[in-house]
Structure 1
Amino acid sequence: MKTSLFNAIFAAAAMTTLPFTSSYAAELTFPHIETIGTSQVSIAADTAIVNVEVVVKEDTASAAKRSSDTAVAEFIKRLKAQGIAGKDIQSANIRLSPRHLYDAETRTNKEVGYQARRQVTVTVTEIDKLNAILDSALANGINKINHISFKASKEEHIIAQARSEAIKDAQQKAQALAAGFDRELDGVWQIRYYDQRPVQPAMYRMNAAMEADVAESYQQAQTTISDRVEVIYRLK
């Protein structure tokens, strides 16, 4: 009778401690505790990924291509002068499309020129240069900043750290619960783990007409990694 009572008590305790559902766990007939270990680790970002774009409109396709190519070439030249390595610069292929204007009299779209678009993605490993690079981009030719995201170069290290802290959290909770009920843990019965991905902040979107003094906010950008592990422990 006492054994059945203990089973009922710890089954109830497990449901209170751990909200996740498991048909397999519900079938366990021995005393056990289910815990969730969680963690969150933040680290200052030290790398920025910048995506900028040039959009030009010209009368002909060749003129549009020439203008966009010139803007991108000049930007890459300025980047290299600022110490950005060639391997950290990626320029996309050109996208050319005709521009049309609707003619109400003929009820047709009349071709009035061409638009060219090219994107450049830059990996900036020295955050303190980021604001100058953006100013340089907008100074000549580049007229759109699509997005800026941040990440940490030691990402794998903090992923491992977050996982270790989540495991410790699950262990400490299980030990505290068992001790509170005058019981002892008898090893791990089951572990459930789902790989977590970093949360990388994207700071803002803007175009050339906007003004922003954002140098300080770049210094404060952080990458946050959360982790979670679910564990079922046997009880003696």
Structure 2
Amino acid sequence: MKMISRLLIVTSCLAGFGVYAGTPDFPHLQTTGYGEVSATPDMAEFTVKVVETTMTAEQAKQTVDKVVTDFLAQLKEQGISDDNVSSSNLYIAPQYHYPKSGQPELVGYRASRTVNVTVNQLSDLNQYLDIALNSGINQVQNVQLKVKEQAKYQDQARQAAIKDANAKAKSLASGFDKEISGVWRIDYNAPNNQPVLMRSMAMDARAESNTYQDSTIVIRDRVDVIYKLD
């Protein structure tokens, strides 16, 4: 018991040292700056899926493969390069009925494949979704709006976050009759900004009109700063 107690004490001391090891031993203040910019999307990615259930595995496979092949062929006719299209391998699984008593009964096979498409011109998005419909695709998993100059907007958001951190620091220092004499530490982790996720929807929901082009993307950033005080 004594050894366990000593181990707990040592562990607690080490944990405490880890918390305070990075704390400066001079007057300071810490702020977090936030920045964001709004951008109009000019491109998109969408993922569609075809799912079919038939009595045999081979029939399910053939049906799904034909839909995907037709869809890819029509996209190629529209001038979409192979680099902007990717499709998954076939997934197939048996389907069972589970009665209240007795053994499960095999009722068919479900096959599925997904296709991801990058649309370089947002105005073409609805057209490509219509092509998916006409090809036999029966699910849209998501539509993601993007901007081609992501790095430019991210830098604008970062600069706004820096200005926000500086403004907060000056206001706080002034409120306590102090002055900022420099920056001691800057902590920054590049944000993982995800494109706008419009919605998941069934393919029978055709009435999307031009809502995609009416959307905006908000790109955010943040920075943590520790300032020296006089």
Specify the TM-score bucket, using the shorter chain as the normaliser.
Answer: 0.7 to 0.9
Determine the structure 2 residue equivalent to 1:228. Answer: 222
- The number of residue pairs the alignment matches comes to 213
Q: Which runs of 5+ in 2 are unaligned?
A: 1-18
Alpha carbons of 1:201 and 1:138: their partners in 2 closer, same or farther (altered >3 Å)? same
2:53 matches 1:72: no
Choose from 105, 109, 112 the match for 2:107. 112
Q: Secondary structure at the match of 1:50?
A: strand
* TM-score (structure 2 length as normaliser): 0.81
Q: Which amino acid aligns with 1:114?
A: Y
Choose from 140, 144, 165 the match for 2:139. 144
Choose from 156, 162, 174 the match for 2:157. 162
Q: Which moved more, 1:62-71 or 1:29-38?
A: 29-38
Q: Which moved more, 1:108-117 or 1:73-82?
A: 108-117
Preserved CA contact (<8 Å) 1:88 1:122 = yes
Listed one character per residue, the Cα deviations across residues 166-218 of structure 1 (whole Å, up to 9, x for unaligned) are 1122223333444555543211122232332214221111223x324223221
Listed one character per residue, the Cα deviations across residues 63-119 of structure 1 (whole Å, up to 9, x for unaligned) are 211111111111111111222211111111111222333466x71223233221111
Alpha carbons of 1:190 and 1:108: their partners in 2 closer, same or farther (altered >3 Å)? same
Determine the structure 2 residue equivalent to 1:44. Answer: 40
Preserved CA contact (<8 Å) 1:174 1:233 = yes
Q: Secondary structure at the match of 2:210?
A: helix
Following the alignment from structure 1 to structure 2, what is the Cα–Cα distance between the partners of residues 54 and 136?
A: 13
Q: Which amino acid aligns with 2:138?
A: N
Alpha carbons of 1:184 and 1:137: their partners in 2 closer, same or farther (altered >3 Å)? same
Q: Which moved more, 1:170-179 or 1:33-42?
A: 170-179
Alpha carbons of 1:199 and 1:222: their partners in 2 closer, same or farther (altered >3 Å)? farther
Alpha carbons of 1:113 and 1:164: their partners in 2 closer, same or farther (altered >3 Å)? same
CA shift for structure 1 position 57: 2.1
Preserved CA contact (<8 Å) 1:35 1:174 = yes
Preserved CA contact (<8 Å) 1:147 1:204 = yes
Following the alignment from structure 2 to structure 1, what is the Cα–Cα distance between the partners of residues 84 and 22?
A: 53
Q: Which moved more, 1:48-57 or 1:168-177?
A: 168-177
Following the alignment from structure 2 to structure 1, what is the Cα–Cα distance between the partners of residues 22 and 147?
A: 41
Q: Which amino acid aligns with 2:53?
A: K
RMSD: 2.6
Q: Which runs of 5+ in 1 are unaligned?
A: 1-22
Preserved CA contact (<8 Å) 1:54 1:118 = yes
Determine the structure 1 residue equivalent to 2:9. Answer: none
Choose from 93, 115, 133 the match for 2:89. 93
Following the alignment from structure 1 to structure 2, what is the Cα–Cα distance between the partners of residues 203 and 27?
A: 43
Following the alignment from structure 1 to structure 2, what is the Cα–Cα distance between the partners of residues 111 and 30?
A: 73
Following the alignment from structure 1 to structure 2, what is the Cα–Cα distance between the partners of residues 175 and 25?
A: 26
CA shift for structure 1 position 164: 1.8
Q: Secondary structure at the match of 1:128?
A: helix
